[in-house]
Copies of this chain bind each other. A is one copy, B any other.
């Protein structure tokens, strides 16, 4: 669903699939096609990562799975459950905390799973799907529910699906200008 009100008001031209991305609260509870879901996960797979560690995992539940969807929904904070229950797919994202090659801490794991989810989101947008990410999860419940080992860390949840056009999602998107976060020569000095 393209939505002109939500489109990024970009000051420099950017790809449609980046400009048209936004995070809906109102999902339409329809099925996400399996082949589209697989392509979204495949897109995540091909992200860059430090030493090609690929420190990302995804626990996935589709809305029509009456066993797994409620279990995953229950790992979200209540405020998120209220809207995420209509997403066609829910996921818990998990990072690995150490490099598999030498057991040393991977300080790039969270950065790298962000890259992978950026890929997933671009792929989703190309299908007309939307992604809403949540920091608000119950990490210990997720760990317990899925038996996630101590070597790994549940980080976020993702709602993926088709957007409904509800009132809550009409506010325009806003961002700081480049001059506030792109610097040259010294911190705070705009290019």
Contacts and interface: CB of A to CB of B under 8 A. Distances in A.
Assign chain A's interface to a size class.
35 or more
A119 B46 contact: no
B108 A156 contact: yes
Interface in A90-121: 107-108, 110-119, 121
A23 interface: yes
A146 B189 CA distance: 10
Scoring A21, A59, A117, A123 by chain B CB atoms within 10 A of each residue's CB, the highest score goes to A59
Given A46-B10, A119-B18, A175 B108 contact: no
Contact of A114 (B38, B113, B184): B113
Interface stretch (A48-56, A75-83, A162-170): A48-56
A15 B123 contact: yes
Given A14-B39, A18-B123, A185 B110 contact: no
A104 B133 CA distance: 20
B46 A19 contact: yes
A32 interface: no
Given A118-B114, A122-B18, A11 B42 contact: yes
